[in-house]
């Protein structure tokens, strides 16, 4: 029998594309999307959808039992910039949803869990270049603290109860289908929309702030490859470092200017600059490469061309 997958937070930036990719792979009826609000037509019309608050453990269990769910992808989260404004809500959402899912797995009501972590688990005392898989981790943001705690809980549930939980430390994600919301790396998506709309962009990070980034197609492929990997080969049950490229706002503006020579960028750093300054500039993902064969496909040039091409096509 085909397995049934539940996506929590299916209407967000990653959730939308992940749901569509998993429906392509496993068939529409096998992938149940859920969120606290409805998503775009592409998501709503392509398979089953449930309004579900992932902090509500009973409601989650009802959906799991009703559909006979085997695997959960928990994509609901409050990102770094918003979490600084609403620390209590961020902690509640980011932690309690994870506990709800891990508990279902511990009780053998589901068999596998995906939970996203982030480069935000690192802090200013972490080596900034080529940040290793295992290193000093002293996150300074509410979001980073919740992700680091979540990683420890994932490793604990795996070791103590045999829960098959798998996780990636996503860098900033660049996508054209759905906008991000409330992150520090969101500028790298906004800039493309503004380049095409107005020909200029004012960036909330300074010109030389280099951060790890990834095109969404790579992130979705990484997620699916990790979830299909042989569990015995996975040496990391907290969360894997994942790398594709690193660039600064000035470098991204330069790549856009190669296609739109008149594009202009200005800089007005705000509170998100401090968050970005505490994160790594580049990531060592050698363990993901050796354990389950991870290889990125999109660099800065390829990402820039794909984003401009797809957004232009959307505009018609």
Site residues, ligand AKB (CB under 6 A): 79-80, 118-120, 143, 170, 172, 183-185
Smallest separation, CB 45 to ligand AKB (Å) = 28
Contacts of 288 (CB under 8 A, 6+ apart): 168, 222, 226, 236, 240, 241, 242, 294
Taking alpha carbons only, the member of 171, 170, 282, 177 closest to residue 226 is 170
Which one is catalytic: 143, 157, 201, 215? 143
Cβ–Cβ < 8 Å for 76, 12: yes
Cα angle for residues 123, 294, 190 (degrees, 5° grid): 55
Q: How far is the CB of 272 from ligand AKB (least distance, A)?
A: 8
Tallying the residues shown for the chain, one arrives at: 316
DSSP 131: B
Burial of 116 (0-12, 13-18, 19+ CB in 10 A): buried
Tokens 């994942």 belong to 242
| Identity of the residue, 85 or 108, whose beta carbon is nearer to ligand AKB in the bound complex | 85
Q: At its nearest, how many Å lie between ligand AKB and the CB of residue 62?
A: 30
Would you say 120 or 145 has its CB closer to ligand AKB? 120
Cβ proximity to ligand AKB: between 69 and 242 the closer is: 242
Least distance between ligand AKB and beta carbon 187 (Å):
9
Query: Which of 85, 80, 92, 84 shows the shortest CA–CA distance to 211?
Result: 80
Any catalytic annotation for residue 267? no
- Of 30 and 118, the one with the shorter C-beta distance to ligand AKB is 118
Q: Which residue number places its CB atom closest to ligand AKB? A: 183
Cβ partners under 8 Å of residue 12, min gap 6 = 35, 75, 76, 77, 178, 181
Q: Specify the residue, 61 or 277, whose C-beta has the smaller distance to ligand AKB.
A: 277
CB of 185 to ligand AKB, least distance (A): 4
Positive or negative: CA dihedral 109, 5, 240, 274: negative
Which of the residues are catalytic? 143
């Amino acid at each position: 029998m085909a397995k049934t997958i539940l996506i929590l937070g299916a209407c967000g930036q990653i959730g939308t594309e992940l749901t569509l990719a998993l429906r392509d792979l496993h068939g529409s009826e096998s992938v149940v999307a859920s969120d606290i609000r409805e998503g775009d037509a592409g998501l709503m019309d392509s398979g089953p959808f449930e309004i579900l608050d992932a902090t509500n453990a009973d409601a989650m269990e009802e959906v799991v039992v009703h559909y006979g769910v085997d695997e959960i992808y928990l994509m609901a989260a409050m990102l770094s910039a918003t979490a600084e404004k609403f620390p209590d809500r961020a902690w509640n959402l980011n932690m309690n949803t994870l506990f709800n899912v891990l508990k279902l797995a511990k009780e053998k009501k589901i068999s596998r869990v995906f939970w996203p972590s982030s480069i935000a688990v690192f802090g200013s005392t972490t080596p900034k270049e080529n940040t290793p898989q295992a290193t000093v981790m002293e996150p300074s943001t509410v979001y980073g603290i919740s992700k680091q705690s979540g990683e420890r809980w994932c490793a604990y549930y795996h070791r103590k109860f045999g829960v098959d939980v798998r996780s990636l430390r996503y860098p900033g994600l660049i996508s054209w289908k759905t906008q991000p919301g409330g992150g520090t790396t969101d500028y790298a998506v906004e800039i493309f929309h503004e380049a095409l709309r107005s020909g200029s962009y004012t960036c909330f990070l300074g010109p030389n702030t280099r951060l790890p980034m990834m095109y969404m197609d790579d992130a979705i492929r990484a997620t699916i490859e990790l979830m299909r990997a042989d569990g015995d080969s996975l040496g990391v049950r907290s969360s894997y470092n994942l790398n594709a490229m690193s660039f600064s706002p000035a470098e991204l503006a330069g790549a856009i200017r190669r296609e739109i020579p008149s594009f202009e960028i200005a800089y007005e750093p705000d509170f998100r600059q401090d968050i970005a300054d505490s994160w790594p500039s580049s990531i060592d993902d050698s363990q993901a490469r050796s354990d389950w064969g991870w290889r990125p496909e999109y660099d800065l040039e390829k990402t820039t061309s794909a984003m401009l091409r797809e957004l232009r096509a959307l505009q018609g």
